[in-house]
Amino acid sequence: MKNQSGNTHWVDLHTHSTASDGSLTPPRLIASAKNAGLVGLALTDHDTGNGLLEAAAAAAEAGLRFVPGIEISAEFPHPGTMHLLGYFIDPISPALKRMSQILLEGRNSRNPRIIARLNELGCHITMDQVQAIARRGVTDDRPVVIGRPHIAQALAESGCVASVKQAFDVYLGTTGQAYFDKERLTRKQAIDCIHDAGGLAVLAHPVQLRLGNPAELENVVSNLVEIGLDGIEAWHSDHRPQDSEMILSLARKYKLVPTGGSDFHGNSKPDIALGLGRQNIRVPEAVLDELETAWRNRRNRQRAAAAGQPEAVHDGK
Ligand code: AMP
Ligand code: ZN
Ligand code: FE
Ligand code: FE
C-alpha cells in the first residue's frame, strides 16, 4: 500500500523484545516502530508469547498494524539451525501455552550446562548474572526467556571475551566450545503447534540452515510444504540480495507466502535497526497484506472443516 504522496509504507515482521532476547520492552518496541515510520510490526519472541498482549495494546493505541507472532526452533542437522515463525497466533490459546512450556523446559536444561562448561573453560559467569542481564529494562516480575545472547553479554561484561560476536565465535555458536543443543520439536511438531495456536508457519532465515546449494534448500522446503508450511522468510538481515531472489522463486514455486523482517534485537545486535535490516533490507506493507490474507483463508478453511463442510478444506493450500 502507498500513502497519498505515492511512497511505499514499510513493515517489520521479525522482531524481539525483552520477553526473550531483545532489549526493548514490548511498548518501547512499538513506540520505536512508530518513530521509525513503520505502519506494521510483528513481535516474534523466541519460544514465548508473553509480550504479545502488551504489544498489541500499545500498537492499537499508536495506530500500528500488529501481528502476534513467535519464533521457535525445530530439529535440524548440525551445524545448521531451523527456526520457524508463527504468525497471527492467538496470544491466549492453550496451545500456545503448551508449546511455550515444552520449549522453555528445553532451555532450562540447556542454559545451566552452557554455564557449567564456560566455568570449566575458565569463564566465571553465573546464572544469576545472566538472569539479571535478561531482566534489564523489565520493571516487574514477569518471566523472560533466557537465550545465548544474554550469556554472550555476560561473557563480554565479565571481560572473558571482547565482544558478543567473539562470545558466539569462540564459545556459544553451533561450533563453539560451550555449545549445547537444546531439545527441539520435530519439524512436524513445530508446524502443528503453530497451527494449533491458530497461526501460519513460516520458515525463518533459510540461510541459517547452512545448506550447500539451492537444490538442497528446495528439498528441505518441499518436505516442509508436505507437512504444512505456509510461508518462507525471503528478506532478512542475514540474506544477500541474491538469497532473497532465490527464496522468492521458491516461494512462488511452492505457493508459500514470502515474508520478511530485520530480526531486530536492540542492543545485542546493534547493527540492525528496526525496519531496516543489514544490507538495508526493508519490507513493504503489501507483504503483510498477503500474509494476513493467507491467514484469513486458512482460518476460514479450518472453521468450515470444523463446521462439517469437508469439501471446503480441499481447495488448495
Ligand atoms: P538461543 O535461542 O538461546 O539458541 O539463541 C538464539 C539467538 O542467538 C538468536 O537471537 C540468534 O540470532 C543469536 N545468535 C545465534 N548465533 C549467533 C552469532 N553467531 N552471533 C550473534 N548472535 C547469534
Ligand atoms: Zn534472538
Ligand atoms: Fe532466528
Ligand atoms: Fe529472530
Whole-structure pTM value: 0.95
Closest CA to 149 of 272, 9, 12, 283: 272
Query: In sequence order, what DSSP letters do the residues of 213-225 get, joined into one string?
Result: SHHHHHHHHHHHH
pLDDT tens-place string over residues 191-205? 999 999 999 999 999
Q: Assign 33 a pLDDT band (cuts: 50, 70, 90).
A: very high
Q: What is the mean pLDDT of residues 159-185?
A: 95
Distance CA 221, CA 198 (A): 21
**Grid coordinates given for 217:** 534448500
Is 3.40.50.720 the CATH classification of the domain at 10-306?
no
Residues with CB under 5 A from ligand 4 (ion): 71, 263
Q: How far is the CA of 14 from the centre of ligand 4 (A)?
A: 6
Ligand 1: residues with CB < 6 A are 21, 46, 147-149, 165, 168, 173
Distances (CA, A) of 3 to 224, 270, 284: 37, 30, 12
Q: Is 78 exposed, middle or buried (0-12, 13-18, 19+ CB in 10 A)?
A: exposed
pLDDT at 6: 66
Q: For residue 79, is the peptide bond before it cis, meaning its omega torsion is within 30 degrees of 0?
A: yes
Across all residues in the chain, what is the average pLDDT?
Answer: 94
pLDDT at 314: 46
pLDDT at 99: 94
H or E stretch covering 107: helix 94-120
Query: Residue 71: what residue type?
Result: E
Least distant ligand from the CA of 17: 2
Domain segments of the chain: what residues?
A: 10-306
Q: What is the mean pLDDT of residues 293-299?
A: 97
Q: How far is the CA of 81 from the centre of ligand 1 (A)?
A: 10
**Residue among 21, 23, 103, 183 to mutate when testing ligand 1 (max atoms within 8 A of CB):** 21
Q: What is the mean pLDDT of residues 106-129?
A: 96
